[in-house]
Structure 1
Amino acid sequence: MKRFLLLLVFTSFYSFGQQIDKPKEDKALVYFTRFDAAGFLINFKYFDGEKYLGKFNYGKYLVYECEPGKHIFWSKAENFDFVDANLEAGKVYIIDARPKMGAFKAGVELVVFNKELDNYDRYKKRIFKSIEKGERYIANDEELKSEEVEIKDLIQKGMEKYTKLKNENSDKIAVLIDGMFFDDSYFVEKDFTKKIN
């Protein structure tokens, strides 16, 4: 019985890590999360350059496998927000969509999850809980096709906005740099001792 409980505790410490998918060796994996419940009904739309990835609201997350190298990730709510990324093959990245106050509805701010963030420990727990407890969003072809016309115009506007900000050397474009990938040190450790005493 003691061995069983010890095994249970040991596997519980590492169970979360098993929920983070790993990419194929020659691909990169990006998690788009949304842990903050503010504006919970508002859908944010997500893109990789001119490719529409889908839309979801609070309580969901998206896992996107892509080619390594340069990407422009962006989101649209009341505003546009962008991340310049240079992804490594075999690595996992996390970008959190934070709702922020807009004039008429929620705006969005994309935040690259990394160890340099203010309140990193608290933030990490909330991010991982949103993946552990959240619903994985998978866009279906029917949904993407139904938004095709609207999205085409939106992509053009989004890329124009990105180009304008880039030409102005704006600090409004977040940057995902080397070393901002997920690794084992990000695991949230839990105290399971109360369960077995």
Structure 2
Amino acid sequence: MKRLTLLIIFLFSITALAQEKLKVGDKIKVGILTLINDQPLSFYDLEFATDGKVKFMNSENNQSEFLYLSSVKSIQETEGVVYDKQKLDEIEYVKYVAPTPKVKTYSTFKYKDETIELENPSEGKAVVYLVRTGGAGSMVNFRYFEGNKFLGKFSGKGYLRYECEPGEHIFWAASENSYFVKSELDAGKIYVIEVVGAMGVLYAQVTLDVVDRFDAKKYPKHQKRLFPVLSNKDLDRSSSTLPAQSGYEREIENGMEKYKRLNEKGDVKILHANQYFE
């Protein structure tokens, strides 16, 4: 009698499990899949995927494969649970919806008769342009950093567009010397830092200048130098991903130590949140 009771409980458990409604994301560790033509196929790591598919590893060749459920007659787990055609047809599908592609928007800036368009930051982000407009040492590569991240390097005129989280950032450039700008950025704003070369002892030094729209005397001069560079897409030195960071560890370590000393003395330029470009 005890054995009969256990058998009934076991059979009931299997039946109940088989009656559970399948959904996308459910997995079966090991089992046998039977096709509509009654061909069996042993599998492991099966998963019910989107758009009416099952993905699995074929036990015979250890290859990743997939099938449409419309071609499957039944799926049996090693424990004996069988999902027949009716159950497979009742699976709760989640149709894949491709993400909406990012739509780029631009802001227009004018200086006298010149007009340029700069790409706006993504939602919740800020953008900083590091723009090298000229000066001494045009053949010398200046290296650009944000804190302990290497952003890139280039010689001559050009610009880097860097999108980041709002808040505090340390932008700096290095050549024979290092020059720092401590920045506080607002989301949705575009900021510009002008990069200028100067004569050094052995080769060119680098200077960073905050482009401040509130400085009525200097701002038009900045615009005069910036517009020819920012309007020329051939001078865009930006990259969608950070360049390789190896090889700059020591320079970054030394640079951040120097920044700490200068900042303690109050000798670091500041780009305030309200000094965005317009």
**Shared fold (TM-score, shorter chain, > 0.5):** yes
For 1:31 and 1:100, locate their aligned partners in 2 and report how far apart those are by CA, in whole Å. Answer: 20
In structure 1, what is the equivalent of residue 210 of structure 2? 112
Structure 2: segments with no counterpart, 5+ residues: 1-111
- Cα shift at 1:15: 7.6
Q: Does 1:144 align with 2:218?
A: no
For 1:152 and 1:139, locate their aligned partners in 2 and report how far apart those are by CA, in whole Å. Answer: 20
In structure 2, what is the equivalent of residue 36 of structure 1? 134
RCO higher in 1 or 2 (8 Å CA, sep ≥ 6)? 1
For 1:161 and 1:37, locate their aligned partners in 2 and report how far apart those are by CA, in whole Å. Answer: 24
* 3-state SS of paired residue (1:158): helix
* 3-state SS of paired residue (2:119): coil
Whose Rg is larger? 2
What amino acid sits opposite 1:163 in the alignment?
Answer: K
1:41-60 paired onto structure 2 within 5 Å = 41-60=139-158
In structure 1, what is the equivalent of residue 261 of structure 2? 164
| TM-score relative to the length of structure 1 | 0.77
* 3-state SS of paired residue (2:227): helix
| TM-score relative to the length of structure 2 | 0.55
- Cα shift at 1:138: 2.8
1:45-194 paired onto structure 2 within 5 Å = 45-115=143-213, 116=215, 118-133=217-232, 135-139=235-239, 144-145=243-244, 148-149=246-247, 151-167=248-264, 169-171=265-267, 173-183=268-278
> Which has the larger helix fraction?
1
User: 4+ residue stretches of structure 1 with deviation over 4 A?
Assistant: none
Deviations for 1:41-83, whole angstroms, at most 9, x for unmatched residues? 1111111100110101222111000000000111101001000
For 2:216 and 2:179, locate their aligned partners in 1 and report how far apart those are by CA, in whole Å. Answer: 18
> Which has the larger strand fraction?
2
Q: CA RMSD in A?
A: 2.2
State the identity %. Answer: 37
* 3-state SS of paired residue (2:222): helix
What amino acid sits opposite 2:130 in the alignment?
Answer: F
In the alignment of these two chains, the number of paired residues is 165
- Cα shift at 1:35: 0.8
* 3-state SS of paired residue (1:166): helix
- Cα shift at 1:117: 6.6
Change (3 A) 1:120 1:45: same
